[in-house]
Structure 1
């Protein structure tokens, strides 16, 4: 086995492993893990000095449990811990996680993902003497706050905490969560808030407590006017990343107002509106003239017609965008919608004027059975043509920002 030979080579050369990612989702993964774990047990110093650890396994088994015990018995230099809970796990898994945390001397960042249990032991372990003076970043991703009862107790003990990130979490409207946030005595330094169940009461509380700290903000699914009004009221001029989807023709104008409000700091923007040509038209007619003069990232997923798209391109022709992604929702079969082909306009207004550095373009035919995607990256001659203008075409899904990965990299 190649992987086993590589591990043996690393061990023989006494390689210093800085980052370890353990991901097991299928049976073959488990077989590879068992072999690798056997090598690690024979050579415990091999991962003794790891700094960055990711654990992502489903389900937990005996060897995983032994591996977690090995980690807190042998590795105490982890500074970044990224833990994705298995769908089915016993409370012992969470207790072992808490012991890994307890054993660390300089833990600076922890990410807790995919969990609907109380996290009692792992959160309380953050109060250990080492963590309270080292932990700077906490990321919650797809975590239910319904039964978490020690949040404010823990957060008020952390002396150097710089940022908290809540990404698509659940039960933010529970009395538990709301009361604990209200009872905090230290500043609630919420740097990222992305919600796919926007609720007025918890959103208002979170923005009131942390609007001055917020840098990344996203709302998805059935947005209400009151939600956007709260966002406009409390979001500050530090916002760098905005993401919106699930809005209607009335809400979009509130989104425009928010974009204009944070224009000076905005660097990443994603707008998604599927299967609505009227809404796509409103976005294209109004967005170009309110964008900042420079953007790191712009992603548009819209039903696009050529007339409105040309308006957008003309209105934004003085803007440089490092990474531009366009997903054109094609409401019809390929042979019926050639009049919606926007690639010639992209070449004329973007490619020839060298307004971008990286580009991804996907045409999504959702009426087709099965659904079809045409990715510009797969058209080699087109990719070469863009390259002649110093524009790198990439696979759409490779260039697309996934919120969890973005926050983990940036903080």
Structure 2
């Protein structure tokens, strides 16, 4: 009886919940479109929430459907670049406003050579290198004009800059900042600076733009900073009542000039902080954490190969955060005695470990191997994942 009601559309909420489980199973979702109107209305947004991320085999026809929503001025500009809009994407009377369904936008996935370039090659677009940036900018304008409500925004700065060039990158960034409704309600913001460098890209301009982007947020839940170069400022003060997760990945901590009291003491709903392969994880940085009066809910700590932790400082860090730590990993260290002390401290202060990563175990002496085994035994009640890397 219940099954028949689901297929007939009498239980739309339950049907919606069931179909959510197939959001990454594109073959099944395409079949669901044909069941009935209700299933179609539920399934179409799932298929279009992140089309640029779909792996091979990839259908690039969705790009043409997006471009069919261009205004006449932009179509004229594309014609000037040699892209004949009447042939490539003639006027379409679509059943849905497909651009409006996008939920996850990754700037690199939009501009990388596996999306726009492959589409242009298939359609024999001439002068591609000269109009690549404009095609990217046109897609962003389409999303903005169709009042997209993004859930996740991945801003891959240097990769995007490398593909579309300085002029188009600056125009895109300014357009996003001028249209705050486009990104003001995102829940997850991932900022990747990367390791690409260009004299035309000012670090101060990037820092200022990122600060404006973060300050425009109203419902941000998670933010990830992935900077292989330098992150000087951390401005999260506008998200005091919404931000639940902060991730630092490959950050140069020496360049991070922030006031920890201002950045973390005022966070009202923060649930987890993750420090992943940041460097150098030294006593100066750790002391700022120790000095905080509020709990520092460090859920993940992965120590890179370049951080030489002082045992006493690390002990103080674990005394403050060990009860929250669930994921921990150790980089390559040549000092066996030092490693053994680290393992002992984790064994004492971290009893909730769910993910443990040990790197370079082939260089361990017997005492360290026994220390690792004792650590595993001590956390086995909660341990879900164990990664042992031989190097």
The reply on whether 1:46 has 2:131 as its aligned counterpart is no
Closer, same or farther in 2 for the Cα pair 1:32/1:57, shift >3 Å? farther
Pick the structure with more strand per residue.
1
TM normalised by structure 1 equals 0.60
Partners of 2:304 and 2:329 in 1: how far apart? 8
- For residues 1-80 of structure 1, the aligned pairs below 5 Å read 2=61, 4-8=63-67, 13-15=96-98, 16-23=101-108, 32=132, 34-41=134-141, 44-46=144-146, 48-58=148-158, 60=161, 61-74=166-179, 75=182, 76-80=184-188
Contact 1:145 1:169 in 2 (8 A): yes
Residue 127 (structure 1) aligned to one of 234, 237, 246? 237
Closer, same or farther in 2 for the Cα pair 1:114/1:137, shift >3 Å? same
- Counterpart secondary structure, 1:58: helix
Residue 297 (structure 2) aligned to one of 184, 189, 194? 189
- For residues 193-272 of structure 1, the aligned pairs below 5 Å read 193-197=301-305, 198-201=307-310, 202-222=313-333, 224-236=339-351, 238-247=352-361, 248-249=364-365, 250-272=367-389
Residue 271 (structure 2) aligned to one of 158, 162, 165? 162
Deviations 1:49-99 (A, max 9, x none): 111011114253232232223223322111100111042252211211111
- Counterpart secondary structure, 2:146: helix
Partners of 1:107 and 1:85 in 2: how far apart? 20
Partners of 1:20 and 1:116 in 2: how far apart? 23
Residue 138 (structure 1) aligned to one of 246, 249, 253? 246
Closer, same or farther in 2 for the Cα pair 1:86/1:182, shift >3 Å? same
The CA deviation at 1:10 is 7.7
The CA deviation at 1:119 is 3.0
TM normalised by structure 2 equals 0.63
Deviations 1:290-334 (A, max 9, x none): xxxxxxxxxxxxxxxxxxxxxxxxxxxxxxxxxxxxxxxxxxxxx
The CA deviation at 1:155 is 0.9
Q: Once superposed, what is the RMSD of the aligned Cα atoms?
A: 2.5
- Counterpart secondary structure, 2:294: coil
Partners of 1:155 and 1:53 in 2: how far apart? 23
The CA deviation at 1:9 is 5.7
Contact 2:254 2:280 in 1 (8 A): yes
- Counterpart secondary structure, 1:159: coil
Partners of 1:268 and 1:115 in 2: how far apart? 27
The CA deviation at 1:173 is 0.7
Partners of 1:4 and 1:272 in 2: how far apart? 42
Match of 1:286 in 2: none
Partners of 2:343 and 2:372 in 1: how far apart? 7
Task: Please list every run of 5 or more consecutive structure 1 residues that lacks an aligned counterpart in the other structure.
Answer: 275-411
Match of 2:41 in 1: none
Closer, same or farther in 2 for the Cα pair 1:234/1:42, shift >3 Å? closer
Pick the structure with more helix per residue.
2
- For residues 265-344 of structure 1, the aligned pairs below 5 Å read 265-274=382-391
Give the length in aligned residue pairs. Answer: 267
